[in-house]
């Protein structure tokens, strides 16, 4: 049974097996969580991302998919990169956001991770409304079987923490 926990803080400081990155399809870094992970994790992460692009992800990582690299200098074993959908007012992309959590869990599970930390994927630069992003995150992890002992949601802002707390309470 996977335990879901919530903490307010910085995902790059979490001592877990796998840290999930809210990346973009290029895997070449960016702002938000992605920027923080590459900055603190160091150049080894980007080097592995480049190698993945060259070997099997020529067109980049698809939205909703996940792939692992080293965690470099972070206090974790792996970074699992996933690409959230950009929020749209006209197009329901919820299934793609759910897929990010499912695929990242599957990749972490396949690696033998026992703990994973997730940010609120798509809820920053990609514009997803926080309450809905939290509901999709919590419901998807709850519904996805894995051997992980702990899935930790690491929320940077107070309003994100409250949204995740409410989503857990609503399960």
Residues forming contacts to ligand AR6 in the complex (CB under 6 A) are 10-12, 22-24, 30-34, 36, 84, 119-126, 154, 156-157, 160
Say which residues have a Cβ less than 8 Å from residue 139's Cβ, sequence separation at least 6: 98, 167, 171
Least distance CB 2 / ligand AR6 (angstroms): 20
Our measurement of the distance from residue 149's CA atom to the centroid of its chain's CA atoms, rounded to an integer in Å, reads: 17
Between 1 and 158, CB nearer to ligand AR6: 158
Catalytic residues: 34
Least distance CB 31 / ligand AR6 (angstroms): 4
Between 26 and 147, CB nearer to ligand AR6: 26
Q: What is d(CA 128, CA 140) in angstroms, rounded to the nearest whole number?
A: 16
**Angle 103-106-111 from CA coordinates, rounded to 5°:** 130
Least distance CB 1 / ligand AR6 (angstroms): 25
Q: What is d(CA 142, CA 146) in angstroms, rounded to the nearest whole number?
A: 10
Between 101 and 126, CB nearer to ligand AR6: 126
The C-alpha torsion from 10 through 13 and 16 to 19, rounded to 10°, is 60
Q: What is d(CA 97, CA 83) in angstroms, rounded to the nearest whole number?
A: 9
């Amino acid at each position: 049974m996977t335990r879901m926990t919530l903490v307010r803080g910085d995902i790059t400081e979490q001592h877990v097996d796998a840290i999930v990155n809210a990346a973009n399809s290029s895997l070449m870094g960016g702002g938000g969580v992605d920027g923080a992970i590459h900055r603190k994790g160091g150049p080894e992460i980007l080097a592995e991302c480049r190698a993945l692009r060259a070997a099997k992800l020529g067109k980049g990582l698809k939205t909703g998919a996940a792939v692992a690299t080293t965690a470099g200098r972070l206090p974790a074993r792996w970074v699992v990169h996933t690409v959230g959908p950009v929020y749209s007012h006209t197009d329901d992309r919820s299934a793609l956001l759910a897929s990010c959590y499912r695929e990242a869990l599957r990749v972490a599970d396949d690696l033998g991770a026992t703990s994973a930390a997730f940010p609120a994927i798509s809820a920053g630069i990609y514009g997803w409304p926080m309450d809905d992003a939290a509901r999709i995150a919590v419901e998807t992890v709850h519904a996805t079987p894995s051997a992980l002992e702990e899935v930790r949601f690491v929320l940077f802002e107070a309003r994100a923490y409250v949204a995740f707390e409410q989503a857990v309470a609503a399960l």
